[in-house]
Structure 1
């Protein structure tokens, strides 16, 4: 008997597909409502780069006297510090107004777009800082640095 192959993926690149929202209030991370998402701000058009916004799990050794082999189990889950780099505006009317230091809320990542029935990831965040980048040759940018304040919900169905 031959194993059933995994379904073929519809491959894509993130530009033009992936979206990021800042949402100030979400009652249930496992099921944000369309009203809550629509009350947020779509950051996508000003995003130059994104770092983080993913979870990782440690491995924990589970040795026993019955074997020399040391098995492992999944351990604690964490999310690295994350950031979204956005373009600065010469009139200072940009992400600095929306996300100053210590702002708490949620970054919602739509890997395949804000389309009902697809999935999204919801990260509870607090802005750690928003430094202006100092490169003199590239367009002016601001790197909004976030701490992830609680366990995110991943692969949540996007509501209609």
Structure 2
């Protein structure tokens, strides 16, 4: 098993459109997206959670469970703020729809690990602090439909 550090391999991109109902972007759709990887200070969420259903019965004091509804965790990306450019503020403004594509093993053709989340931006907020730290903006997303997980990265063209 070859272990690796996500910070050197994982790429995170915002894609404005994906035509496929299976949420598998084409190489052209990936190229048309914006790679925000080098601007990201923190990543939160971006996973599927299940709400198990308890199924107690009279025959046992043990309460078993079955799988219930799936939902996406609360998800956000925290970016470093640029002192002159306002790309994050405008490109990811509240109400923006699109797709967050997370290439967990890099944007490498035929690699597994491409997760695609259909999203809407629900907040875009600057953080204010007197601490000795870089200025940041947190963008919170709602995941609007079931994401496509562990897809194969399309070939480079």
Fold match, TM over 0.5?
Answer: yes
* Structure 1 contact 83–143 (Cα < 8 Å) conserved: yes
User: Of residues 75, 78, 81 in structure 2, which corresponds to 1:82?
Assistant: 75
Q: Which runs of 5+ in 2 are unaligned?
A: none
Per-residue CA deviation, residues 23-46 of structure 1 (Å, 9 max, x unaligned), is 010122442211111111001011
- 1:57-136 equivalences under 5 Å are 57-118=50-111, 119-136=113-130
Deviations 1:35-94 (A, max 9, x none): 111111001011111101111111112344555543321111111221111111111433
CA distance in 2, matches of 1:67, 1:155: 38
Establish whether residue 150 from structure 1 lines up as the match of residue 145 from structure 2: yes
Considering only CA atoms, is the larger Rg found in Structure 1 or Structure 2? 1
The number of aligned residues is: 152
Judge conservation of contact 1:88–1:94 (CA < 8 Å) in 2: no
Distance 1:58 1:11 in 2: 31
2:16 to 8, 24, 44: 24
Q: Normalising by the residue count of structure 1, what TM-score does the alignment of the two structures yield?
A: 0.88
Any stretches of 5+ residues in structure 1 without a counterpart? 1-8
Q: Secondary structure of 1:130's match?
A: strand
SS at match of 1:15: helix
- Alpha carbon RMSD of aligned pairs, Å? 1.5
TM-score, normalising length: structure 2: 0.89
